[in-house]
Structure 1
Amino acid sequence: MVKNDLYLRALRGETVERPPVWMMRQAGRYLPEFIELRNKYDFFTRCQTPELASEITVQPIRRFPLDAAILFSDILVVPQAMGIDFKMKESVGPWLDNPIRTTEQVQAVQVPDVNDALGYVFDAIEMTLEKLDREIPLIGFAGSPWTILCYCVEGKGSKAFDIAKSFCFTNQEAAHLLLQKITDTTIAYLKRKVEKGVSAVQIFDSWGGMLSPEDYQQFSWQYINQIVDALSEVAPVVVFGKGCWFALEEMSQSKAAALGVDWTVSPEVARKLTNNSITLQGNFDPARLHSSPETIKKMVNEMINRFGKDKYIANLGHGILPNIPVENAETFIRAVVDWKPN
């Protein structure tokens, strides 16, 4: 049992003294100690070396009174394990030399044995749990099948993922085959993370908001829901769909323990769409961490008061930006920890 189980209690919808707090991408690029490691090791070396991944995971925990740690990794380790050779290209981001554009390429994609292909992630979990010493829960994560397909077909990041969308609309059979292969791999991957000791898992659907509500059902939600159904038997599942406020009502009727929301939806609308039936997480605009400490404190208090302290996890509405001052990140976290009801 973890000593600070505030995050887990919030996921269960229990009454809490204050909301728990953690930040998406809290283990990473805004911290000077992370930058020091980044200057020595390339991105996927950091992900694939358990000693480095576990060290990066606990860096923010040493600094801040956070209520959960999230394992340092990347959503693209899943397609890498499936034989899709992603690289991280300087000033470009994720890069695939041969994007998946044909049925033959999809058919060639493997559903791997995750223990062999992703053993380094599971080793990192063991090392991290040792360092955390049961103080706080550890969160494991994966990308949604749709978001991973976007990178696999586009071959890189994009503002609109038009190539990926066109592939799905013109070659539906192949698209659904690829989505199912990613889903099957992700279920096995996340189940193994739970077996290794993570307390909860989060699914990041970073590009779900690129789809219309109808296409979202077809190409994203049905696959996320398979993962939720499979994992909810063994651990709480949080679903975060960026720009997917339109799907909140349906998502809230799933077996997910919580739903992440971004800053484009108000707390009141998010509560209304979910009929106040599920824990919500979010939704502070990461760019707002450039505001003054006084403004950050005021906005955090307002955010908590609007969501309500129960069935709520304080977080950003997306990952922390690399140029955020460390003291502003700390102000955000401490504002939640120090929150008192009016």
Structure 2
Amino acid sequence: MTKLKVGMISFAHGHAHSYLKSLLELPEVEIVGIADEKSSRVESVVSKHGLRYFADHQELLKTDADAVVICSENVNHAGQVIAAAEAGKHVLCEKPLGLSVAEMERMIEVCETNGVQLMTAFPCRYLAAVAKAKKAVEQGEIGEILAIKGTNRGTAPGGWFTEPGLSGGGALLDHTVHVMDLMNWFTGSKVTDVYAYCNTLFHEGLEVDDAGMIHVKFANGTIGVLDTSWSRPKSFPTWGDVTMEIIGSKGHLSIDAFAQSNMLYSDSLGKGVSMFYGDPMDFYMVKAFVHALLAGESVPITGLDGLRSTEVALAGYRSVKQGESVAIS
């Protein structure tokens, strides 16, 4: 069996644990090691799975890895993607892809120049409810999409996510990109105008925004609105949600992507807990990345997809600063 050799760079983002689990479940993958400047973040998984540890990601890039998965702080994505591409490694990068349009364009350019593929980590495309809704739209079951109302509300993640120098923004950046990618994917169009609101309403003393609403207009005339707020308290039974109400010229689609769940009520936990039993979106996304590379095919979610969703969030911050709608060229 031909195997894809994969390394991981940073466990700063919690999604790294799920991505590692997914890689370990794929027999066609060989994990060459994990790089993280903070050994404390990875020592348990390195020890548990007998993996090689690198204190410097540049050392990992000197190995015979075919690809790397990057889950570092947002501010480090660009530099690490570019370094990986220059080392001839394909890349799966955590969202948001970058912190400026210019650096994301540079990331895409360097990957293309070096003949490697760049995939943005948007696992929500692999949720069953989302995938089935996309198929219904493609089959014309609701006609032309006229408007989309979405939510990606969650609890405040804490840690480096709330440090502007590492995250590049708050809830408006963190929670715009997933559902905006779905809106881009469903409409097949590009956002041209953005009007947004953000503030710090739920967590006193936070250095970044924890509340956000973003309104968009697409080139094909579709309009959208998205609640990106970290508005869920710690006592809430889930981390958050991904929903979309899609209004078509011939019908309507209502998507609650994490509705496949049981509720657990336990005094020892102190609160009700939602236990999701739906398909593992991270596994299917990682599997799609691996299979595309092994088959010599294009990755299903590109760096350009990552740019298209992130540029909307960045335009949202400009809109807030200017107090008016802003255009995206």
Tell me the TM-score normalised to structure 1 length.
0.26
Tell me the TM-score normalised to structure 2 length.
0.27
Structure with greater helix share of residues: 1
